[in-house]
Structure formats: C-alpha cells, structure tokens
Structure 1
Amino acid sequence: MAKCSVYTFLFILLFTGINSSAQSYQKTDLGVKISIKGRELEMQVYSPSIIRVIKSPARSSLNKESLTVIKKPGKTTFSVQQQGDVLYLKTNQLNVNLNMNSGAIIYYSHSGDQLLKEKEEGVMFTPFNDAGNQTYKVSQAFQLDHDESIYGLGQQQGGKMVQRNLSLNMVQGNTDDYIPFFQSVKGYGIYWDNYSPTQFVDNKETTSFTSEVGESIDYYFMYGGNADGVIACMRDLSGQAPMFPLWTYGFWQSKERYKSQDELVDVIKQYRKLKVPIDGIIQDWQYWGNNYLWNAMEFLNADFPNPQKMVNDVHNLNAHMIISIWNSFGPHTKQYRELDKINALFNFTTWPQSGSEKWPPNRDYPSGVRVYDPYNPEARNIYWNYLSKMHSLGLDGWWMDSSEPDHLDFKPSDLDNKTYLGSFRKVRNAFPLMTVGGVYTHQRRVDSSKRVFILTRSAFAGQQRYGANTWSGDVTASWKALRNQISAGLNFSLTGIPYWNSDIGGFFLSRYPRKLEDPEYRELYVRWLQFGTFCPMMRSHGADAPREIYQFGQKGSKYYDAIEKFIHLRYRLLPYIYSASWEVTANQSSMMRALMMDFAKDKQALDINDQFMFGRSLLVSPVTEAMYIKPGTGGQGSMQEEDFSSVKSKETYLPAGTDWYDFWTGEKLSGGNKVSKQTPLDMIPLYVKAGSIIPVGPEVQFAEEKKWDDLEIRVYPGANGEFVLYEDEKDNYNYEKGVYATITFHWDDKKKTLIIGDRAGAFPGMLASRKFNIVIINTDKGVGENTASESDKVITYTGKKVAFKF
C-alpha cells in the first residue's frame, strides 16, 4: 500500500511537473496550445498569412462565435518546432516565435524581417462583474518600431493620417466609427476581436488594446505584404464587398428634410429642367408623422398621401429614391409593441427626447422612443417584416440613421441592458454590424433582382459584406471639418470597408448664421462638393439650409457653374468608377486610397492627410481653406465679402517613383516634388499617374441614359499601364454567377502600342460592336473634363484583340 502510494505520488508529481512546465505544448490540427504562467494560449493557423491568437485564464472554457469573422480556418500546412525556450511555428508566409517562459509572441515575414512583437508582460486579465456575469477586463500590449506608421482604427474627426501617439476611447458615436483594427506600413494588420468599449493607446512605450469585457484575449495577425494585401486578408476573414448598382455612383441630393412628397419630386423635376445630372434622392425622417410614431415605417404624415405615386414619379423621372429608417421605435408603433413582447427593447435615453418636434426638447413630454435589440434574430425578423412593406413600394435602398445608436444622457448602468447575446456592454460596438446585417440578409433572401444599397451612419469590422456605404455623421460645416473628412475616410477605408462618404457641405451650419448668404460658406460648399466628386458616393445633404444647385444661383454664376462642372465630371468618370468598384469586389481593392497604399516606400507620402488616390490613377488634392473672401467693407464687425480679384493656388506633393500629368492641362510633371496649381473656384489640383488608362463616358443626365458605345480612352504615357473595363447588367446579382464582361487595355510604353484584349465574358444587352476614341495625352491635349476635339485614333471594337502603334 505504502509502496503503491509512493509510486502514485511520484507519478502525480511527474505529470503535474510536465503539465505546468513552460516547455510542454500540444500540437493541434489548427496550431498549438500551451499553458504559460497559469494562462492558456492557443495559436490557430487560419491561412498561411493569418494567425489567430487566443489567451485566457487557466481552466476557463471558451465557446466564442465571432460576430465579425466568418472565415473558418482552412487546412494549412505548417510546422512546429521547439528549440530551448522558444517555440517556432512556420507557414510559407510567416514565422511565429513564442517565448515559452513569458508567453510573448514575435511575428516575422517568411524572409526573416521582424514585423511585430508582443510586449513582455503585456497581457492583463482583471476580474470584472458584467451585469452579474463574472468575466474579465482584458488587455494586450505590442511593441512597434519607433518610426513605424500605422493606419485604420475606423473613422475619427481628429485630422490625423498616421495613427500614432494617441489614445482613443472606442465607443461608437455619431461622427466617430471605431473599428479595432490597424495596419502597418510594414505590411501587416491586427484585428482585435472584441465588441465592448475599448481603449486604444499608442505611445513611445507601448501600443495596446484594453476592452471592458472579454472571456479571453482574441486577436488576428495578418500579413499581406502591403496595404492591399492586408485588406485582402481582412476581407478573407470577415467577408467580401458586394457590388452596388451603377446608379449609386451618380449624384445624390437630400436635405433635412423634404416635408411633402410633392416637394421631393419637384427637386428631381428641377434638376431635369436645368439639365443637371442626378440619380438619387433621399427622404429623411418624419414621413411617419409625430415622434410617438417614430420610425413606424409607414407614410402616416398627411403630406405624403400617396407614397406609391411618389416612388413611381421619381422612377419615371429616371431617378432613384431611398428612405430614412432608424434603429428605434416610438411607443405607438406596431414594431414597438411586438418587440416589447419579446423583451427586445433597450432602456436608455435615445433620440428624439420629446414627443414634440419643437426645439429644444420638452422633457415634460418624453417621446418614449426605445432602441431595439438587433442581436436578437427574432427582433431582426420583426424589423424586416415591417420594412418589407416599404420594399414592396419599389424603394431603391435604405438610409439607416442612428445605427451606432444614439445614446443620450449616458449612464454606465445603461450598458447593463440585456441583449440576446449578453449585456449591451459586451457587444456595444457591434451594434451597426448587426442592424445593417439584418436588413441586408433579409433583402437578399427575397430579392436578387435589385442589389441591396444601404447608407448608414456607423460601421463595425466586417460590415463591408452587407452592401453598406457609411457616411461620416452630422459634422458641423467648417474648413477644418472638410479637411478632417479626408483622413477620416482614408483611415476608415484602410480597415477593409471600402465605401464611405460625407454630407457635402457639412450637416450643421451653426458657424454660418447667414447660411447660403455667407460667401465663405458658398465657397466651402463648392470645395466640399469637389472633394465629394472623388468619394465612393457623391451626396449633397444638410440641415439649416437647402443645398440643391439652384440654391446657389443660376447658370452663369460662379458657384452654380462650379457645382455643375463637377457633377458633370463625376458622370464622365462613371466607366472608370464602376470598373474600380469591380476591382473592390473581385480583387479586394479600395476606391479611396491613402498615398501609403501605392507609395509605401516614399516616406514623404506616408503622413499626408489632404491628398489621396481615387482608384489607382487619379491623385486628388482638395482645397481645404478659404481663398476668395475678404473682410467686409462696411466697417468693423461687418460680414465677410467674396473677393475674386486674384487667383490663388494650392501646393500638392506628387509621390516619387512615377511621373504625373496635370488632369486639366496635360502637363507632365516629375514625382517626388511639390507643385503649385492655381485653384480658381471651379478647379482643384488633380493629377494622373503616368501609365494610366482612363475610360471617359458620355455626357448624361443619369447614369444609364446612354450606352457606353463611344467611350473615350485616355492613355497617359511614361510607363506601362493596364486597365480593365468592367460591364454588367448594372443592378442585379447575376454578376455573382459570372454574368459580366471585361475588356483589358494594355499600354506598352516602350513600343508606344495600345493592346485591347479579347473581351472576356458576356451578359444580356452587351454591346456587340462599339467605338473607342483613343487619346494619347500630352501637353497639347489637356482635355480635362471635356471630350477631346480630335481623337488620335477611332477604333471599332467587336470583342476581338486589336493592337495599335502610336
């Protein structure tokens, strides 16, 4: 007995020693598991380029279903080897070293370049009571190179391009969309898979994510080699971006708000009468009536007596209409009653705060509006059941306002609200992902003839898979706000979500009490619209004053003509823009491109926050300061006046490694230099990368007015170039079945030869024969937005390969 007990004791001691040692690990089908310092650590190989890292307190059970990540780990060849206290995990893309004593991980490229290292002792688990559930506050720290540039983290209004030396309290807001993902100029990215309020901190010592709630630390390391590669990894994890209809890339007009259906339809009529192109119009809130009927998803307002006629009228004018819907419901709505029965309404203060529309809100008469629980699948079903009645009217899309959602009079206890997936605190930041996803998923199930289009105020990681274009919220108009939109949109795009826009002109005009009578605001609006011309969505919107083109004068006036010029330019570029959108869907590209995406080796380009590439060819440099105003002549305190007595200029940096062309004049310029460009009111600096091929479409009044049977093909010599022209049926999902066509243009600069390849694919209505008007750009052909008076060569193309030497 005694002898057996001794052996048993020795066996237990030996077994315990082996399992508590930092030198033991378990190889799994997906990677490795190991226990270090009383914590469980697992590395899962999702692909040769993507590693998931999970860390949790010992003996904890983890059964997490990610809200963002939809990819399942594939069968990836990898090796695991231990040498001393270091565990080496290798794929054909990555080398990952794990210190088996400290638990810190270092990531290397396959060639041996160090990419990122976890900070020693950089892990924290702090016990936390989350609305009665015992869990943890979790933190992971990394150590970046001192001069390493990182980007992403969603959309902020601080004007920073490089996201270093800052602290962010990541909780979704009206004008700030937080996404716990950053990527480095070194070609890697980190996605922190947590949805609770999170603190991101970067300083000289550390870069860290700290989240209020988490059963574990859970993050994904991805290596793409460059920004496009990192984005491809992120979309591989969280879903690809579907295509939008062609018409969505035209011009949009809206305001807060059209007060009758006649007013809305009349806006389209006015644009058609003036022969100014337009494709989309939006009906904002209150078409449902009073605030107690908030978001009823019915036209209960007496000024909208025949909604079907309104939609038909818009369609008959060759335009499209989307409508405002919210994520909250008034107490007199049918949705409220159904959602309340299943406990799918939250108890915290949201907008609107009063049953009266008057401002300020009268708190004696609370609206009773409550936010719904989109984490609950039954609640999402109820939401769509009512929205489907709007869908049956033929509306072309949804404007999902307050999708963060609005959370007023915040109290920490508000986050104790129970959702279908636990406390609101636990899943707070994923609210927009869930509510937008609910609408997209339901519509896709019942309608494949019309592509889902959602305009939404907020976003979270993975939202690109749900057919949504995010706008930057209710920003107050100012020159600083305009400039800040550029870096906000670029960093948002660098998280893998490619579709973004802003309210052209800014939402609130509180800084401009004279509204449209203020010459500074008129100039600001024109400059904002010029910026919007080169965003994925071109949409004029705002409160306090209407923004239709005819509010800014008439044809022949400076402001009107400048606005009209850029709307026409947008439509001329539709073949280029639609082809760029195909690159987003098919090849994980981005439409708005920070300069670091295409010029990562040019250190001067890494932190520029007022320039960007639109597609891979156009460098856009918006004007972001007032140029044509002066103090009033009526004495001290008089209002500013316009002053066009002299033409001002803006300086733009042209990245190195390529030559550039002035879009307006055709002048060829060398990269790696700053250049000055005169910027009268109807001009912004716009440059084209040498080697570019840009298709230019006809002048139209709406996107589908004319076929692309006579396109102008502009070739910018100086480097080899390639462009893929994409065409399909414009508004259904047949492209997912291969029903589309592409034509590849290749420019051989040495041979001065343009090769137009065989057309690939087909679709109903495809042009069997067409003309291409080839224009080789030089200083004498600065054709700008207008068709060249004489083409270098007119080609009849029937789908077969042709080559022409110039």
Structure 2
Amino acid sequence: MIRKKIHILLVGLLLAGCSAKQYQMIDGGVVVNVKQKSKTDTHKVRLQVVRDELIHVSATPDNEFPKDSTLIIVPGLKNTPFTVDNSHKDSIMLVTSRLRVAVSNLDGGVKFKDKDGKVILAEKQGGGKTFTPIEVEGTKGFSVRQIFNSPADEAFHGLGQHQADEFNYKGKSEELFQYNTKVSVPFIVSNKNYGLLWDSYSLSRFGDSRPYKQLNNVFKLYDKTGKQGSLTGTYTSKDKGVETLVRNEESIFFEDIKSIKNLPKNFPLKNANVTYEGEIEAPESGDFKFTLYYAGYVKVYLNNKLVVPERWRTAWNPNSYKFSMPLEAGKRVPLRIEWQPDGGTSYCGLRALTPQQADEKDNQVWWSEMNKKLDYYFVYGNDADEIIKGYRMLTGKSQIMPKWAMGYWQSRERYKTQDEILTNLKEFRKRKIPIDNIVLDWNYWEENAWGSHEFDKKRFPDPQGMVDSIHALNGKMMISVWPKFYKTTEHFKEFDRKGWMYQQAIKDSVRDWVGPGYVGSFYDAYSGGARKLFWKQIYDNLYPLGIDAWWMDASEPNVLDCTDMDYRKALCGPTALGSSTEYFNTYALMNAEAIYNGQRSVAPNKRVFLLTRSGFAGLQRYSTATWSGDIATRWEDMKAQISAGLNFAVSGIPYWTMDIGGFCVEDRYVAGQQQYDKNGQENKDYKEWRELNARWFQFGAFAPLYRAHGQFPYREPWNIAPEGHPAYKSIVYYTNLRYRLMPYIYTMAGMTYFNDYTIMRPLFMDFQADKKVENISDQFMFGPAFMVCPVYSYEARNRNVYFPAGSNWYDFYTGNYITGGKQVSVDAPYEHIPLFIKEGSIIPVGPEIQYTGEKKADKIVLYVYKGKDGSFTLYEDEDSNYNYETGKYANISLTYNNTNNTLTIGERKGQFDGMLKNRTFVIVTVSKDKPKAFNYDADGQSVTYDGREQKVTLK
C-alpha cells in the first residue's frame, strides 16, 4: 500500500512538472508553450482575461513576448478571476464564468467555447498562424496571418467604411489601409455571437491574405486579333487632328502617379475614349476576384456580360470597385474595358486574384504586414449590441456629442470670404430653415501660408467678429485644421526644429495643387510632444476666437494624392514610434487625441467635437466623428454610403456622416448650363441633380450626423432648387423633422455613452433571429423605432422593402399596418423616403425649433404605436458640458403595456442644472384598427408631468 502511494505521488509530481513546462501562470492569464518544428512556428501563446467575455490572445515564434504596448486599448482594465484546467492531454483550458478557452500545446491552436462547451470560434487545424520575418529600417518584426474556421452560414460585418458597396464580408476580401473615402477599422462582428478586434496598425487584409496582381501575372492575355501576350489598347481623341493610337497592353495598371507614366506619351487623355480589349485565359477553374480602379467614366464587360455598369470618379480621387466571376481553366474569355478619362491626368487599372488557396477558402482570414507579435481580442456577446459594448470596453467609451452637433450642418467647398459664410447663415434664419452649424473649409489663410492658422485679412478682415456674428445668429462654427504645414511657415519651423515633421516630401520638393504649388509636409502625430505642439498652435491662434468644432481633414495622412503604397509609407514616416510600415493605419487616432486632450486640458467641461476623414479602433473615445470623404455625386455613390455607414457603425464608432449630395461633381453639373430653358423646362441635368440631392437629404436626415458639403453647385437648399420646388420642399421637410425628433435623437446620443448604443443600425442588430436581414444593406434602423429605406435610383417612385419578422410595422406617413416577415413594393414619391415604425415604439416629438438650444421641450408629443409592449427612456442633460460624467442628467422611463392599454410615465431619475421640472406630454396613439398619419400637432391625451410617476389608460 505504501509503495502504491509513493508511485501515485511520483506520477503526480511528474505530471505537475510536465504541466509546469506546458504553461506558466502570469498576471491576468496564462502562457502556453508550444513545441516548434521550425523557428517561425508558434512557440508561445498567451491568453489574458480582460473580462469574463473578453480574451486577449497573443502569439510569437520567439522565446519571449516583446514588451506590451498598444495604441487602441484603454489603460486600467482590471483583471477578471479565472481558473486553469490542465486535465486535458493535449491542451490547456482557461475558464471564466462565460467562456472556456482551450490552447493546444501541440500547435498553439485556440478554441473559444461557451460555458456549456459549445464552440463559438476556433483557429484552423494546426493553429492557423503564420509568421514571416520582416525587417524595416533596422527594426525586426513579422508579417502575420491568422486563419479561423468559419461555417458556411457565418456573416461578417464591420471593417470600417469602404466604397465597393459590400456589406456582408463572408467570402469577400478587403484590404485595410487609410485613404480618402476609405476608413479601415480592424474589427468584425459575426452572427455567431462574437466579435474580433485585430490589434495591428500596419497594412492588413481580411478574407484573403494575398494582394491583387496585374492581369498578366494571373492570366494568359490575347489581343483583339488573337495574338498571345497582351490586350489591345485603342486611344481615340475627340480633338481634331489627333490620330487614333493602337498599342499592346501587357497589363492594365495605371493606378498611381508612377504607373500612369506608362500611358501613351503626348496623347491628350482629356477628351479621349479608351478601349482595352482582347481575351483572358485562366490557369485554373474557379472563382476569380477582380478589383477595378478608376477615375473618369468606365464600364467593364467580361465574357460578353456587363459586369461593371458605368461608374465615374473625378480624376484626382479614384475609386475601387470589386467583382468576381467563375472561369474555366484553358478557356479564353472576352474582356473589354471602356474608359473615358476625366481630365488630362486620370487613372485606370484592373487587377485580379486566382481562386483562393485551400487553407483560406471560406474561412476567416487576417493578415498584417508588420507586427512585433500576433495579437487579437475575442469579444463574446449574445447579440451585436453586447459585442460592441465589449469592443468599447476595450477601446473606450463613446462620448456624448454636444446637442448642437445633432442638428443640421451646412458646409461648402468652400466659403471663400467672411461675408459668404455670414450671408448664408443669415439666409437660413431668414427662410426659417433650421440649422445649428456652419463650416469654414480649407484655404481661409493666405495662399502661401497653409498651417499658419492665420486668416487672409483681405477675405476675412475680422475673424473674431465673424465668429461672434455666427454665435449671435445662434449658430456654431467648425473650422478646418489640417496636420499639414508649408515649410515657409513659422509653425512648420517650430515642428521641424524638434524633428517632428515628416521629411520625405521636403526632400523631394513635393508640391501641392494650390496656385503654383507649394512645398510642405505633415507633422508626426505619433510623437507626444508633437501632438501637444499641434494643439498649442491651434490654441494660440484659433481657440481664442471661440470656435466650436474642429475639422481634421486629410488625416490618413494624405501627404500626396495617388501615390503607390511604398511612396506613401516614405511620405508619412518614420514615426516617433517606429517605421510607417508598422504604424501605417493609426495616424487619425493620434491626431484626434491631440485636439481632444488639448481642449479638455484648457476647458475640461466644454464638450469636444471633432470631425475626421479617417479613423481607427478607439476613435470614439476622443469625441470624434468620421465622414466618408470626398465621394462622388452619383446614384451608385449614394447607395454605397448606406452599406459604408452601416459597416462603420458595426465597427463600434457610432458617429458617422457623409457629404450629402456627394463631394466631387461630374462636369455636366458644373459646366454653367442654364437651369431652365426659354419654355421654363428644367435642364435635364439639373433635374437629375435636384432629385439626387432630395433623395440624399432624405437619407442623410437619418444618419447619426446630418451634414451637407461639396463642390459647386452649392449645397444650401435654395441653391439646390428654388422655393416651392419638390426638392426644396423635401429638404426643408426632413430638416424640420430632424429637429422635431431631437428628444429622440439626443436620447440616442446619451445611450451611446451609458448603454454603448449604436444609432445607425443594420437590421440584423434588432432582428437577429431573421436570417434574411444579414445581407440587407439598403435599409436600416435609426434607433429603436424608425426603419429607414433610402431611394437611390433616378426617377424611382417605389422600391422593395423587406419588413423583418419578429415585429409588425406602421407606415410613418399614413399609419397603415404592415405584417412583418415579407417583402413589399412600397410607394416612394419624390418628396418622401419610405419610412416605417416598429410596432410597440414610443417616439418623443419636440417643439418646432430653428436650432437645438432655442427652447426647452416643455411640451412633448408621445407617439405610441400599439400592437406589442414597448418602452423608451427619455434622456436629458446640460447639452454641452461633461457634467453627465458626474451624474448630472435625468431619465424619464416611458413604458407601454399592450395588454392593459396603459402608458406609464415613470418617476424622473436624476437631475441637472436648468432641468425642466414640469412639462406637458401629449399622447397620440396609432393602432392597426385606427391608423394615423404622423402629424406634429396631432390631438391626443394631455398629461401634466412634474417628475412623479403617472399611469395613463390610453384612449
């Protein structure tokens, strides 16, 4: 018996010794050791518990992990209790109250299971990790890849904001970098109840780790005569005396300022029609992916099918569009690209990918160019809201924007004088069109003084008077502040003396587009000292004027348009933290921190508002919104903003906006045509322009931020169409509706902070059980009540709408009842966007106002849409300070019981300075049997409310 006990003890000690070698306990987690076959195989996997549902995973092929540093994760996250189960033969299990996370000690593969042992997410068999050594500017790192298994019915949303009008990224790929109109956020939400935050700041890819290749590196090419080796390029000019040029094209790659030099020299592209045609022969059978890069007008035919209907982009700001097609090995397929360049400099490219390699196909794939280690965060949640809450737990709370930011923003590229900006704001007030914010775009300085923060006195003789006048008109002013400085300015020199300016543009004498072209560069926002100096220069020159908001343009950073990727890296590095290869995507985050922390350091209780053209994970913590950049003014571009905005919202950053009407305008709208002919008929282009803007304003009124901006034609409502025109009437109607809904909208702003809410919501967020909504990218919920269905086709007067199952619906304009779970063709008259209210909704409607602070909502109409129980909690605070962070706010719960037909107005919770202690609620009910159109002044049951609970039986 004694010998048996000694044997058991020895076996136990031996197993304990093996376990000790297999893993080590660390503060907040565990490190699992993996036996390597080669030096680039996984050697260590680290799991750290952030919360019961949040797990940080790191892996390295090295003997030790590099020192932790992060730009996106907020400090101070407390460790959560966990246990380690080492009873499994080939794995170590980390256990929290909600998760069981297993790491194989054979290959380092990680599996995430729920508390019942059901697999939520698993890395691919063998671990799915790849480490490829890379060295840049003397710093060593790895190009990393991680593959996860993905079931066929999985859906992925997020990844930031992209312009190819893709929504569900399952089976698709996206390259993650920052550029004008493209904002990359490495976070996805899966319909399998998890999110994944990929912690890398370098150029990354999702879905397919490979870069697109030029056509001749993918296919055999044949010209239009059948000769192998190239396509045929035909260049025809509309200019007299210019002969048609025909030449062989070994690839179609004219995508940057370097490669466009391969276009025909001395051939005038400005008035040209270009055709690339021939045949391509695939090396294997399968689905081939294509990416089209274009400026000007372009169409693509493949296998005699129009696969890319006409698209357009302005010459200086090309766009990408993706498509795919199954091809057969050895079969020649016709290809034809019809391109009409936009101006003398223009871009066109078509690249492709062979069918995806077996280990990646149909799986979840992440790749990044340069990391010190492989890093990601797993976020578990029962629904998308809970997952986004976890993301914000990691990367920071979304601040409540000032209430005035929820109002209308009028902008123009650009108000050229002090008189222009004031005259237009006065016109809004004269016409009684609500507005809160007016914007001064770039070039308010003297032409050769970009970055000086000084006004051109000829055009802006009294900046202080201008700001004061805007405030006197009850407006707020946002001003453009770029991270760009001409080398002749004192501000540039101040940065330069400290080594805080990127030098490549200076060395290469890169000139911009202003006047004769001026040499300058961008400051290094990765330096803490540089960020403080950036704010100090703003504080010394602009802040004393009383400017309310800051527009942070070109924050990708966009030092020079249309460069190849390698030169872009050279222009924006090296950074204070390391090479621009490693820190390629996070400039906007650092730049936002500069102004947010700067303003809060001098005015800690004044809410910050920042608008930036780029972004990254964590941007929301700096009270920063993003807009979708210099998009084009086409119907397809408007449609692409819907999916772009929805995916951006799912990426965890709740405040997003766009240039209503689009920024870059086709020549047909700006060529100086007469708006009307001698018979009073609208010019056909202006007719379309007005309808496009009407539809875009209808959509924009239900974006988190409501803002118009763009080049000529001007975007003020009266410049779009005359008073009385359907476009004008529609714009004014939805602007007024936006302001009447301010109690509802501002409550959602509060919810983004207190509940980690998302304002602009893909349908799958609220109708998770209905699998049909996972691919619906052109409808969305605006808060809990409104389903918004934009119209994005010219002269469309109806559109198909899917009504999600799990709820029934009311038509906003008629009150008519619609049963959920079906698709219906609905009316879409010129002046109205299809708009529907979810059954059980309670919508607070405020008084008529011309700006958000005009008067308090002492009378609120409560629309109650019967049919099922519902609730809404009205949120109010002091509108423009941070006292809500210390508890100065109030909530009034509104609860409808459908069975008892009662509305309970709950006891007011909380208080704040200036709070209304008494108000009137007017309750208006809409039901299936008694439909009622939405009406601001509808009659209803009037209730006097003094903060005490009231229960009202509804009539």
TM-score norm. by structure 1 comes to 0.92
- Aligned equivalents of 1:558, 1:41: Cα separation in 2: 62
> Aligned residue for 1:403?
555
Match of residue 481, structure 1, among 637, 640, 653:
637
Partner of 1:627: 795
Structure 1 residues 667 and 460: alpha-carbon distance in aligned structure 2, compared to 1, 3 A threshold: same
**AA at the equivalent of 1:794:** S
Question: 2: CA distance between counterparts of 1:17 and 1:214?
Answer: 35
* CA shift digits 1:376-416 (9 cap, x unpaired): 01111110111113111111100110011114333526535
Deviation at 1:126, TM superposition (A): 1.1
Q: CA deviation at 1:557?
A: 1.6
CA distance in 1, matches of 2:928, 2:124: 54
For structure 2, the residue ranges without an aligned partner over 5 or more in a row are 1-12, 37-42, 209-359, 676-684
Give 1:183 shift: 1.2
In structure 2, the residue corresponding to 1:129 is in which secondary structure? strand
How far has the Cα of 1:21 moved from its partner? 9.0
Tell me the equivalent position of 2:33.
35
Aligned position for 2:848: 699
Q: Does structure 1 residue 190 correspond to structure 2 residue 196?
A: yes
Q: 2:385 aligns with which of 205, 214, 228?
A: 228
Cα gap change, 1:545 to 1:553, in 2 (>3 Å)? closer
The answer for the alignment partner of 1:117 in structure 2 is 122
Q: Which residue of 2 aligns with 1:796?
A: 944
SS of equivalent to 1:293: coil
What's the counterpart of residue 584 of structure 1? 752
> Are 2:658 and 1:660 equivalent residues in the alignment?
no
1:606 aligns to what SS in structure 2? helix
Q: Aligned-pair distance for 1:267?
A: 0.5
Equivalent residue number for residue 569 of structure 2: 415
| In structure 2, distance between residues paired with 1:468 and 1:298 | 24
Give the CA deviation at 1:554. Answer: 2.9
Alignment of 1:602-621 (within 5 A): 602-621=770-789
2:31 matches 1:65: no
Contact 1:293 1:333 in 2 (8 A): yes
Q: 1:209: which partner in 2?
A: 366
Cα distance in 2, alignment partners of residues 733 and 478 from structure 1: 40
Residue 632 of structure 1 is matched in structure 2 by none
Partner residue, 1:138? 144
Residue in structure 2 matching 1:757, options 887, 900, 906: 906
Deviation at 1:31, TM superposition (A): 1.6
The separation in 1 between residues aligned to 2:505 and 2:768, in whole angstroms, is: 45
Give the Cα separation in 1 of the matches to 2:504 and 2:161: 25
The structural deviation recorded for 1:356 is 6.1
Report the equivalent of 1:85.
90
1:417-465 Cα shifts (integer Å, max 9, x gaps) = 3211011111110111000111101111111342100111111000000
Q: What is the SS of the residue equivalent to 1:43?
A: strand
Aligned partners of 2:798, 2:97: CA distance in 1, in Å?
A: 50
- Report deviation, 1:354: 3.7
Amino acid corresponding to residue 401 of structure 1 in structure 2: D
SS in 1 for 2:910: strand
Report deviation, 1:301.
Answer: 4.6
Is residue 98 of structure 1 aligned with residue 247 of structure 2?
no
Query: 1:492: how far off?
Result: 0.7
Identify the residue that residue 468 of structure 2 maps to in structure 1. Answer: 312
Check conservation: 1:287, 1:301, Cα contact below 8 A: no
Aligned length: 765
Cα 1:589–1:392 change in 2 (3 A) is same
Deviation at 1:91, TM superposition (A): 0.6
Out of 375, 393, 396, which is 2:526 matched to? 375
**Alpha-carbon distance between aligned partners in 1 of 2:716 and 2:708, rounded to the nearest angstrom:** 8
Q: Which residue of 1 aligns with 2:694?
A: 526
Contact 1:477 1:511 in 2 (8 A): no
Aligned partners of 1:411, 1:248: CA distance in 2, in Å? Answer: 36
1:346–1:372 Cα contact (<8 Å) kept: yes
**Deviating more after overlay: 554-563 vs 392-401:** 554-563
Q: Is 2:885 the partner of 1:736? A: yes
Match 1:25 to one of 23, 32, 52 = 23
Tell me if 1:286 matches 2:454: no
Q: Given the superposition, is the C-alpha separation of residues 686 and 348 from structure 1 closer, same or farther in structure 2, using an over 3 Å criterion?
A: farther
1:641 maps to which residue?
A: none
Which deviations, in whole Å up to 9, do the C-alpha atoms of 1:268-324 show, x marking residues without a partner?
11011111111100000111111x311221213520010000001001011111100
Q: For residue 166 of structure 1, report the CA deviation from its aligned partner.
A: 2.0
The one-letter code matched in structure 2 to 1:102 is D
Give yes or no for contact 1:569–1:785 (8 Å, CA) kept in 2.
no
Inter-CA distance 681–782: structure 2 relative to 1 (3 Å threshold)? farther
8 A contact 2:713–2:719 mirrored in 1: no
SS at match of 2:581: helix
Q: Is 1:321 matched with 2:319?
A: no
Distance 1:667 1:511, change over 3 A: farther
- Compared with structure 1, are the counterparts of its residues 348 and 525 closer, same or farther at alpha carbon in structure 2 (3 Å cutoff)? farther
Q: Taking structure 1 as reference, are residues 356 and 96 closer, same or farther at Cα in structure 2, changes over 3 Å only?
A: closer
Give the Cα separation in 1 of the matches to 2:125 and 2:19. 19
For the pair 1:166 / 2:172, whether they are aligned, the reply is yes
Task: Name the SS of the counterpart of 2:636 in structure 1.
Answer: helix
Partner of 2:715: 547
Give the equivalent residue in structure 2 for 1:254.
Answer: 411
C-alpha deviation, 1:698, in angstroms = 1.1
* C-alpha spacing 1:63/1:134, structure 2 compared with 1 (3 Å): same
Change (3 A) 1:394 1:16: farther
Provide the residue aligned with 1:6 in structure 2.
none
The aligned residue for residue 462 of structure 1 is 618
Does the 8 Å contact 2:112/2:122 carry over to 1? Answer: yes
1:673 aligned residue (811, 822, 826): 822
The answer as to whether partners of 1:662 and 1:668 remain within 8 angstroms in 2 is yes
After TM superposition, give the deviation of residue 130 of structure 1 in Å.
1.0
Residue 385 of structure 1 is matched in structure 2 by 536
Counterpart AA for 1:545 = P
Change (3 A) 1:204 1:379: same
Letter in 2 for 1:47: R
Q: Which residue of 1 aligns with 2:155?
A: 149
Q: Is the 8 Å Cα contact of residues 45 and 73 (structure 1) preserved in structure 2?
A: no
Mapped partners of 1:313, 1:414: distance in 2: 41
* Residue number in structure 2 paired with 1:3: none
What amino acid does structure 1 have at the position aligned with 2:366?
Answer: F
**Superposed displacement of residue 20, structure 1:** 9.4
Instruction: Name the structure 1 match of 2:953.
Output: 805
Q: Tell me by how many angstroms 1:701 deviates.
A: 1.1
Q: Is the 8 A contact 1:663 1:782 kept in 2?
A: no
Q: 1-side partners of 2:431 and 2:175: how far apart?
A: 47
| Residues 436-445 or 446-455, more deviating | 446-455
Aligned to 1:302: 458
CA distance in 1, matches of 2:837, 2:363: 39
For 2:473 and 2:20, the matched residues in 1 are separated by 72
Partner of residue 493 from structure 2, selected from 321, 324, 337? 337
Mapped partners of 1:455, 1:698: distance in 2: 28
Displacement after TM superposition at 1:483 (Å): 0.8
Match of 2:514 in 1: 357
Cα RMSD after superposing both structures? 2.1
Preserved CA contact (<8 Å) 1:327 1:371: yes
CA distance, structure 2, for counterparts of residue 592 and residue 111 of structure 1: 33
3-state DSSP of counterpart to 2:586? helix
The percent of aligned pairs where both chains have the same amino acid is: 40
Letter in 1 for 2:836: Y
Instruction: Give distance in 2, aligned partners of 1:554 and 1:216.
Output: 59
Task: Measure, in 2, the Cα distance between the counterparts of 1:377 and 1:152.
Answer: 30
> Shift of the alpha carbon at 1:64?
2.3
Distance 1:131 1:561, change over 3 A: same
* Matches of 1:105 and 1:319, distance apart in 2: 54
- Aligned-partner Cα distance in 2 for 1:661–1:414: 51
- Quickly say closer, same or farther: Cα 1:289–1:540, change in 2 above 3 A: same
Contact 1:666 1:780 survives alignment (8 Å):
no
